[in-house]
Chains A and B, each alone.
Chain A
Amino acid sequence: MAAADYESWYQPPKGDSEIAKLTDVVLRVAEAKRPPIGWYVAFTLAVGMLGILGISIAWLFWTGIGVWGNMHPVVWAWDITNFVFWVGIGHAGTLISAILFLLRQPWRTAINRAAEAMTIFAVMCALIFPGIHIGRPWLPYWMLPIPNQMNMWPQFRSPLDWDVFAVSTYFTVSLLFWYVGLIPDLASLRDRATTTIRRFVYGAFAMGWRGSSRQWHRYERAYLILAALSTPLVLSVHSVVSFDFATAQLPGWHTTIFPPYFVAGAIFSGFAMVVTLLVPARQFFGLKGVIEMRHLEAMNKVILATGTMVGYAYAMEFFIAWYGGSPYEGFIFFNRAFGPYAWAYWTMVSCNVIFPQLYWFKGVRTSLVGMMIINVLVNVGMWFERFVIIATSLHRDFVPSSWGYYIPTKWDFLTLTGSFGLFFTLFLLFCRYLPMVAVAEVKAQHAHTHGGH
Chain B
Amino acid sequence: MSPVSKKSDKPTYWRSIAELEGRPEFEQFLEHEFAEPVSDLPPTSDERRRFMQIMGASFAFAGLTTGCRWEQDYILPQTRRPEGLIPGEPRYYTTSMDMGGYATGLLAKSYDGRPVKIEGNPNHPDSLGAANVFHQASVLELYDPDRSKGFGTYSGGKRTDSSKDEFIKAIKPLMAAHRSSQGKGFRILAESTSSRTVADMKRRLLAALPEAKWYEYEPVSADNIRLGSELAFGAAYRPNYAFDKAAIVVSLDSDFLGSERAAIRNAQSFMQGRMPEKGEMSRLYIIESAYSMTGGVADHRLPLRSEFVKAVAAALDAGISGKGSPSAEMGPAQARPAAAFLEDPKVQKFVAAIEKELLANKGKSIVIAGEQQPPEVHALVHRINAVLGNVGSTITYYPDFTADRLPHKDAIIQLGKEMASGAVDTLVIIGGNPVYNAPADVGFDAALAKVKNTIRVGLHEDETTMKSGWQVPLAHYLETWGDTRGYDGTIGIQQPLIAPLYGGPSVIELIALLLDDSTKEGLDLVKRTLAASMGDDRLWRKAVHDGVLLGSGLAPVQPVLKPLGAIALSDREKAGVAVGNGQLELTLAPCPKVHDGRYANNGWLQELPDPVLKLTWGNAALIGPATAKELGVDDQTLVKLTMNGATITIPAIIAPGQAPGSVRVVLGYGRTAVGVVGIGSRLDYGLIEDYAAEYGAGDLELVGVNAYPLKTTEFGRFGGGLNVQPTGDTMKLAMTQMTHAIKDKIGRDEVQRRVPELVREGTFEEFKEKPAFAQEKVEHKALLSLWQEPVSYDKHKWGLSIDLNKCTGCNACVVACVSENNIPVVGRSRVIQGREMQWIRIDVYFRGEPDEPELAYQPLTCHQCEHAPCEQVCPVGATMHSREGLNDMVYNRCIGTRYCSNNCPYKVRRFNYFNFHEELKLEKNQTKKMMFNPDVTVRFRGVMEKCTFCIQRIQNVKIKAKNTRRAIQDGEIVTACQQTCPTGAIVFGDLNDEKSRVRALQNGPRSYAMLEELNVRPRLKYLARVKNPNPELS
Contact surface of A with B, Cβ cutoff 8 Å: 63-66, 69-76, 133-137, 139-140, 142-143, 152-155, 157-161, 164, 244, 247-250, 253, 327, 331, 334-335, 338-340, 394, 396-404
Contacts and interface: CB of A to CB of B under 8 A. Distances in A.
B112 to A, nearest CB: 31
A250 B902 contact: yes
Contact of A153 (B836, B841, B873, B877): B877
B758 interface: yes
Contacts of B903: 248-250
Nearest to A396: B747
A437 to B, nearest CB: 40
A133 B898 CA distance: 9
A143 B941 CA distance: 19
B213 interface: no
Interface in B700-758: 737-739, 742, 744, 746-747, 750-751, 753-755, 758
Given A161-B875, A402-B737, 15 more contacts: A64-B941, A66-B913, A71-B835, A75-B902, A133-B897, A134-B895, A136-B896, A143-B875, A331-B746, A399-B843, A399-B1011, A400-B747, A401-B843, A401-B844, A403-B742
Nearest to B844: A401
Nearest to B867: A249
A340 B843 CA distance: 22
B915 interface: yes
Contacts of A69: 833
A75 B876 contact: no
A157 B895 contact: no
Interface in B751-786: 751, 753-755, 758
B1014 interface: yes
Contact of B873 (A248, A339, A397): A248
A161 B942 CA distance: 19
Contacts of A334: 746
8 contacts: A75-B902, A134-B895, A136-B943, A160-B899, A398-B907, A399-B860, A400-B739, A403-B742
B910 interface: yes
A77 B262 CA distance: 47
A400 B750 contact: yes
Interface string B818-858: 00000000000010011110000101110000000000001
B873 A158 contact: yes
A398 B905 contact: yes
A135 to B, nearest CB: 2
Contacts of B688: none
Contacts of B845: 400-401
Contacts of B34: none
B912 interface: yes
Contact of A135 (B843, B896, B1016): B896
**Residue from A63, A70, A155, A394 having most chain B Cβ neighbours under 10 A:** A155
Contact of A65 (B869, B940, B942): B942
B896 A134 contact: yes
B906 interface: yes
**Residue from A72, A154, A396 having most chain B Cβ neighbours under 10 A:** A72
Nearest to A338: B746
B944 interface: yes
B893 interface: yes
Contact of A64 (B737, B874, B914): B914
B162 interface: no
Nearest to A75: B898
A401 B755 CA distance: 10
B969 interface: no
Contacts of B751: 400
Contacts of A400: 739, 742, 747, 750-751, 754-755, 758, 845
B907 A249 contact: no
B957 interface: no
A140 B425 CA distance: 69
B872 A158 contact: yes
Interface string B911-940: 111110000000000000000000000001
Interface residues of B, number: 58
B905 A160 contact: no
A134 B897 contact: yes
B844 A75 contact: no
A136 B1011 CA distance: 32
Contacts of B874: 155, 158
B869 A249 contact: yes
B873 A135 contact: no
Contacts of B910: 72
Contacts of B906: 398-399, 402
A66 B897 CA distance: 13
B894 interface: yes
B901 interface: yes
B844 A135 contact: no
Nearest to A135: B896
Give 8 closest A-B pairs by Cβ, nearest first: A135-B896, A135-B942, A66-B913, A71-B834, A401-B843, A402-B907, A155-B877, A136-B942
A104 to B, nearest CB: 40
Interface in B108-126: none
A159 B835 contact: no
Contacts of A159: 873
**Residue from A70, A135, A248, A250 having most chain B Cβ neighbours under 10 A:** A135
Contact of A327 (B746, B753, B830, B907): B753
A152 B893 contact: yes
Contacts of A74: 834
A135 B943 contact: yes
Nearest to A65: B913
B835 A158 contact: no
A427 B737 CA distance: 46
A328 B894 CA distance: 30
A79 to B, nearest CB: 9
Contacts of A143: 875-876, 895
A339 B836 contact: no
A249 B750 contact: no
Contacts of A70: 898, 913
**Residue from A71, A73, A250, A400 having most chain B Cβ neighbours under 10 A:** A400
**Residue from A253, A331, A401 having most chain B Cβ neighbours under 10 A:** A401
B869 A248 contact: yes
A154 B905 contact: no
B807 to A, nearest CB: 14
Nearest to A164: B875
A159 B874 CA distance: 8
B799 to A, nearest CB: 20
Interface string B306-317: 000000000000
B876 A155 contact: yes
Contact of A339 (B744, B753, B830, B912): B744
Nearest to A72: B834
B942 A249 contact: no
Given A136-B895, A136-B896, A160-B897, A399 B907 contact: yes
A335 B747 contact: yes
Contacts of A335: 746-747, 750
Contacts of A140: 895
A134 B836 CA distance: 19
Contacts of A66: 830, 833, 835, 913-914
Contacts of B754: 327, 400
Nearest to B906: A399
Contacts of B737: 401-402
A160 B742 CA distance: 33
Nearest to B836: A72
Nearest to B736: A401
Interface in B667-684: none
A248 B902 contact: yes
A331 B836 CA distance: 26
Contacts of B836: 72
Interface string B942-967: 11100000000000000000000000
Contacts of A397: 905, 907
B645 to A, nearest CB: 40
A264 to B, nearest CB: 24
